[in-house]
Amino acid sequence: MTDNANQEIETLLAELWQRHLPTLHSRLALLERAAKSASTGVLAETPREEALSIAHKLSGNLGMFGYQQAGDIASEIEQIFRVPTPEKLTQLTALIQKLRQTLATRL
């Protein structure tokens, strides 16, 4: 692969990231709402499924943009929504905050 192709991809990835930022913001907000609902250790099925789907998407695409650590945190969040336990559900708020902090300079 040429340096030009490499540079072209880096540039296009940066543009795509900017274009998809509003979607990312709404996804993080949805996760935060779900985490707030789950802070009692219980979460209804519909918001759980919705949050699971969003966390899955984030775990798949953040790493693709070069944010591997953020993708790993999203995977942790996904696992909690996939197999929720009262103890794990109460950890969600802290994990989502960590995810935001990891992406802070790019949001």
Partner 1 sequence: MRRILIIDDEDDIREVAALSLEATAGWHVFTASSGAKGIELAIAELPDAILMDVMMPGVDGPTTFRNMQQNPAIANIPVLLLTAKVQGVDQRRFAGLGVAAILFKPFDPLTLAEQISEVLGWNEHPPVKPDPSTPAT
Alpha helices in the chain (DSSP H): 3-38, 45-61, 68-82, 86-89, 92-103
- Asked whether position 102 contacts partner 1 by CB under 8 A, the answer is no
Site for partner 1 in 31-90 (CB under 8 A): 53, 56-57, 59-65, 68, 71, 75, 78
Among the residue ranges 16-24, 32-40, 86-94, 99-107, the one whose residues contact partner 1 (CB under 8 A): 16-24
Torsion (CA) 12, 14, 20, 25 in degrees, nearest 10: 170
Q: How far is 61 from 51, CA to CA, in rounded Å?
A: 15
Contacts with partner 1, residue ranges (CB under 8 A): 1, 5-6, 8-9, 12-13, 16, 20, 23, 53, 56-57, 59-65, 68, 71, 75, 78
